[in-house]
Amino acid sequence: MSQQPFQTEVSQLLQLIIHSLYSQKEIFLRELISNASDALDKLRYTTLTDSKMKSFDFDPKVDITFIEGDKPSLTITDSGIGMSKKDLQENLGTIAKSGTKNFLSKLTGDAKKDSNLIGQFGVGFYSCFMIADKVEVSSKKAGAKEAWKWVSDGKSGFEITKDVKEINGTTITLHLNDEGKEFSSRWKIENLITKYSDHIDFPIFLTFEDVDYDKEGKEKSRQSKTEQINKAKAFWSRSKNELKKKEYIEFYKTLSHGNNEPTDWIHFKAEGNLEFTILFYIPKKASPDLFRADYQSHVKLYVNRVFITDDDKELLPSWLRFLHGIIDSSDLPLNVSREILQQNRVMAKIKSNSVKKVISKLNELAKDKKKYDPFYKEFGRLLKEGVYQDFENKDSLTELLRFKSTLEDGYTSLKDYVSRMQIDQKSIYYITGENENSLRNSPLLEMYAEKGIEVLILDDEIDEIIIPSIPKYDEKDLKSVNRSGAADELDDKNQEKQKDKEKTLKPTIKKIKDFLGEKVKDVKISNRLSGSPSCIVADENDPTAQMQEIMRSMGQMDMPDIKPILEINPDHEIVKKLATMRRGKSFENAALLLFEQAIIQEGGKLKDPSGFVKRLNEVLAKAI
């Protein structure tokens, strides 16, 4: 068969792996053994659940052999499910992962040295090209008659030809290069298996030449020996008391196919009426697909240590999709289907208990600001999703939310905000928008700053959806300063003065309102401004400008164009001068500039930016 080229993304990834991850080249063995374990898991599940395969002779194991010398090689063989010609083509010639090409195009500089690249794409097999000039994969699918061989140098492409193989499974032979010859060593292999793969739930055997020497150091005898070099016990089934921190970290690296350490983990075994074990890891970094609809679940389901699935998004609520880990139950049937899982009472209880354990761990983590702030920066948006979606745990998740603030550096909680509230303050105030810097300098905050009142800075677009679902916290209303009535309760002492100003400026307000027409819903005197001449706010019952953009991005293109309210500062010099002017071009230019600058300050987009620049230039020309 003629040589077939790699998919473009595979070629790019191979170059990144080979040239960027050399410092972690030993991980190739971890990846190949993990793949072998997955193949054994799949065949074990098939022999237990498929009536046609129940009589299949299944001897689960991984065998490793090596050759030293001028042409060193390393061979890993499993007796697992095996691969057909189609499987070899799809699994080793392409990367079936949406977004790969787009992500690769963005990788520049230090980003290319990310040691988690392999885990991000699920392409652990390709790591073997770091240490091998040529790779041969011989495989026979369980139950099939034909065997196939895949061969590649990792550069030009690959070939697939028929092969002769008596038993099912896969054999991978690595022809080691100068960088990889160190791995044709008994002690090197044993150390790596102990470090990375001791937890694999199947025996791993190493065949080697055992040499006996006499007293003078001369070789006396040589014989081939085969020894099991791992414990072959499911890691999560072991007692927490016998496991060390280092072992937990190494198992996480196997699960995540990366080299980063986790932030923390939860290992819990339930006994009694319901028996199950969970081992969940909280990563330090979010995976690239975390906020895509086709995100990959990183939690595997086992039944009595028999692998069932790692592709079921119903195992945990979607807001917990950042977790890596294991759920192992003794109370689920081996042939449980995705549909049964969704309706199964046992799974529902496991799910509920798992969520509570995770929340408990997050509460513990939240006590350490140095740990929790980086976690929240990566995964806080998912906690917000939980507040919106998970009614059962809404209150607990609300306590875990963190916000930027006008008074505090870093993040703050609602609980801490309430502890700092002024004695006569009735509400919790927040401002929403797209840009933190713009929000911090918004004229909407001027009155709050003068009164020393803290305002939460919500610059994540999802906040517009999430926060209204928390109308109260600790009996305090949450109020958006982007809305027209938010400042009223803070200015009740100046109501009479405000009425006098409204009466004085009533003709000016009418002229501005008549001129702006359909651009605004109303024009009002502001009680929140001190240094700025104007601002825009939303009516109490209308969506804010940012919420309107979110709704349009969700496909609601036919929604009406909701108008903002323009508030003007009666004490500002510009407004005072407008009050002395007749309506004409100068008045209209100034009124329109007041409106347009308010839009810009709130991060909005002008419909006629060239007109704005022209008007601004005219005003500048007269002022200079």
From 323, 344, 366, give the residue that closes a domain.
366
200 to each of 60, 75, 359, how far by Cα in Å?
11, 18, 29
Q: Quick one: tokens of 575? A: 């407004």
More confident residue, 359 or 2: 359
Containing structural domain, residue 251: 236-366
The total of structural domains in the chain comes to 3
How sure is the predictor about 496, in pLDDT bands with cuts at 50, 70 and 90? low
Angle between helices 245-256 and 27-49 (to 10 degrees): 70
505 and 614 share one domain: yes
From 166, 200, 232, give the residue that closes a domain.
232
Nearest-angstrom CA–CA distance, 604 and 27: 49
323 and 186 share one domain: no
Nearest-angstrom CA–CA distance, 563 and 539: 9
The arithmetic mean of pLDDT across residues 575-579, rounded, is 91
- Say whether 225 sits in a helix, a strand or coil: strand
* Structural domain contains residue 592: yes
* Structural domain contains residue 174: yes
136 and 65 share one domain: yes
Q: How many residues does the chain have?
A: 624
* Structural domain contains residue 336: yes
201 and 70 share one domain: yes
* Structural domain contains residue 449: no
Contact 427, 391 (CB under 8 A): no
Highest mean pLDDT pick, 487-496, 570-579, 596-605: 570-579
From 299, 331, 366, give the residue that closes a domain.
366
CATH of residue 341: 3.30.230.80
The arithmetic mean of pLDDT across residues 191-218, rounded, is 84
* Structural domain contains residue 567: yes
37 and 143 share one domain: yes
* Structural domain contains residue 437: no
Contact 297, 310 (CB under 8 A): yes
* Structural domain contains residue 456: no
**HSE value, Cβ hemisphere, 13 Å, CA-based, for 222:** 4
How sure is the predictor about 16, in pLDDT bands with cuts at 50, 70 and 90? low
**HSE value, Cβ hemisphere, 13 Å, CA-based, for 420:** 17
* Structural domain contains residue 523: yes
122 and 259 share one domain: no
195 and 310 share one domain: no
Nearest-angstrom CA–CA distance, 318 and 312: 11
pLDDT above 50 for 192:
yes
pLDDT tens digits, residue range 510-554? 999 999 999 999 999 988 888 899 999 988 877 666 666 666 665
278 and 182 share one domain: no
46 and 188 share one domain: yes
CATH of residue 563: 1.20.120.790
Contact 616, 596 (CB under 8 A): no
193 and 286 share one domain: no
